[in-house]
């Protein structure tokens, strides 16, 4: 793939060096187009040595090849990282006063921008308006991460990690290339651009004592893939992560906001806080139904010849039912997950349909678990039902493929100003557990 890597003048330009290496190691041909300010942070010799291509901000170099037109027209993908507030403003206004902004005007391929700046600059109305303008024109502006900025400042505005930028940008390029080559292909667009999404993932743990806990087998993979897929589709994602497995935890790098939690009470608090400003809440975490009434501060000792004391359990709040009933933001879309096993009283789908009618969520994703299914495996097989228990769609494949299938349905429910497009059926008891 022929990639133009635009670099604007922010201190995060050093991360673009790592992004260049990631793209090159994946076999892509990369031409770096820095701004004059970017060259004050990282010099042309570094870009040229790592890319094997010339690196200049000048429109009047190599004039015979009309580079200010040829670069954009010849690229399969343009990535700008970091995209500073100044660069976003110039791109939104259609400026063409250096090689990078000229290239952006001539590019007919996917353009992905990864902003990086101080929080105040990112949240300023001018920047918000510029980002909205660019997205309206089809530019993919991914959300910045939250974290340590220059100096002691911390907040949203941090450049995502290079590996995450590369992954998102290449996914977008592949998706749009498929859409262009296959007539009528049902390919997801940036249908969540500008939306705020909360996803819970993993499994909660309820302490028995400081050493032991009641938990479950969820690795958190499906929830993490839902979060990553939503971000790739343009959403600002808050992931509430409950005890992710060691092989899944590294995959949250690059998400805008990750909130680690342990217990159901902590997860409930974190999800409700984030849901107050969210368009969509997806409860993919395996939440413990019960917790020990008493958890001593010291480890419970084994006494030879005497069995353990019974563990008395109390019921945890039903977080999904609460969210579906309260709708902490008007028009909010609420999606639940139901990990089920069949038994003498009904099949997995029977139990899932009954749960959907009790919970009152817009959608419930039902999947069978146990015996190598659902938990701690690479693939998933789900049925998505609505609040009345009617089947909306099914999906089978990798957990990323399942995530995209779920978002295909959810995106259709988020319309206009963020109001839900699906009405819950009359007579649903939204308070039932």
* Domain residue ranges in the chain: 2-181, 196-420
Report percent pLDDT > 70 for the chain: 89
Give the residue numbers annotated as catalytic, written as ranges. 216
Return the C-alpha torsion angle 37, 41, 46, 52, nearest 10: -30
Between vectors from CA 347 to CA 343 and to CA 353, what angle results, nearest 5°?
125
**Is residue 173 predicted with pLDDT exceeding 90?**
no
Tell me, what DSSP letter sits at residue 224?
H
pLDDT at 398: 87
| Spatial separation of the C-alpha atoms in residues 361 and 351, rounded to whole Å | 15
Q: How far is 356 from 361, CA to CA, in rounded Å?
A: 7
Q: For the residues 14-24, what does the mean pLDDT come to? A: 95
Structure tokens at 287: 């939440």
Q: What is the pLDDT of residue 362?
A: 95
Q: Which residue has the tokens 């005890």?
A: 243
Q: Is there a shared CATH topology between the 2-181 domain and the 196-420 domain?
A: yes
* For residue 422, pLDDT beyond 50: no
CA end-to-end span of the chain: 51
Q: What is the pLDDT of residue 433?
A: 33
For 276-334, write each residue's pLDDT tens digit: 999 999 999 999 999 999 999 999 988 888 888 899 999 999 999 999 999 999 999 99
Residues listed for the chain? 433
Give per-residue pLDDT as tens, 31-42.
999 999 999 999
238 CB burial (10 A radius; 0-12, 13-18, 19+): buried
Kindly give the pairing relationship between strand 236-242 and strand 257-261.
parallel
Domain 196-420 has CATH 1.10.357.10: no
Per-chain mean pLDDT for the chain:
86
Instruction: Return the pLDDT at 68.
Output: 64
Instruction: State how far Cα 212 lies from the chain centre.
Output: 32
Topology given in CATH for the domain delimited by 2-181:
Rossmann fold (3.40.50)
Which is nearest to 407 in space by CA: 351, 363, 361, 352?
Answer: 363
């Amino acid at each position: 793939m022929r990639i133009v890597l635009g670099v604007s003048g922010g201190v995060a330009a050093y991360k673009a060096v790592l992004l260049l290496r990631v793209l090159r190691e994946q076999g892509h041909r990369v031409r770096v187009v820095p701004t004059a300010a970017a060259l004050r942070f990282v010099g042309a010799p570094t870009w040229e040595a790592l890319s094997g291509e010339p690196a200049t901000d000048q429109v009047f170099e190599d004039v015979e090849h009309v580079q200010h037109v040829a670069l954009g027209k010849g690229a399969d993908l343009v990535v700008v990282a970091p995209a500073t507030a100044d660069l976003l403003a110039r791109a939104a206004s259609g400026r063409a006063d250096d090689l990078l902004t000229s290239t952006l005007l001539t590019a007919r391929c996917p353009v992905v921008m990864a902003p990086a700046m101080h929080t105040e600059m990112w949240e300023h109305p001018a920047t918000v308006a510029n980002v909205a303008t660019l997205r309206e024109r089809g530019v993919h502006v991914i959300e910045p991460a939250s974290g340590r900025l220059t100096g002691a400042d911390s907040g949203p505005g941090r450049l995502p990690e290079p590996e995450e930028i590369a992954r998102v940008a290449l996914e977008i390029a592949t998706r749009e290339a498929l859409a262009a080559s296959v007539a009528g292909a049902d390919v997801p667009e940036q249908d969540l651009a500008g939306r705020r999404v909360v996803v819970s993932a993993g499994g909660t743990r309820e302490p028995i004592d400081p050493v032991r806990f009641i938990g479950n087998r969820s690795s958190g993979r499906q929830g993490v893939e839902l979060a990553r897929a939503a971000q790739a589709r343009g959403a600002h994602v808050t992931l509430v992560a409950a005890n992710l497995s060691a092989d899944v935890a590294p995959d949250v790098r690059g998400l805008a906001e990750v909130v680690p939690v342990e217990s159901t009470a902590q997860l409930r608090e974190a999800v409700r806080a984030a849901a107050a400003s969210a368009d969509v809440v997806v409860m993919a975490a395996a939440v413990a139904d019960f917790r020990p009434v008493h958890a001593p501060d010291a480890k419970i000792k084994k006494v030879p010849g005497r069995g353990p004391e019974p563990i008395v359990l109390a019921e945890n709040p039903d977080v999904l039912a609460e969210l579906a009933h309260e709708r902490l933001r008007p028009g909010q879309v609420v999606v639940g997950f139901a990990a089920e096993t069949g038994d003498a009283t009904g099949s997995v789908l029977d139990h899932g349909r009954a749960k959907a009618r009790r919970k009152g969520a817009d959608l419930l994703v039902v999947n069978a678990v146990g015996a190598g299914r659902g938990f701690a495996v690479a693939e998933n097989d789900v049925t998505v039902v609505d609040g009345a228990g009617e089947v909306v769609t099914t999906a089978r494949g990798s957990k990323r493929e399942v995530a995209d299938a779920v978002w295909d349905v959810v995106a259709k429910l988020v319309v206009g100003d963020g109001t839900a497009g699906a009405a819950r059926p009359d007579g649903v008891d939204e308070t039932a557990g």
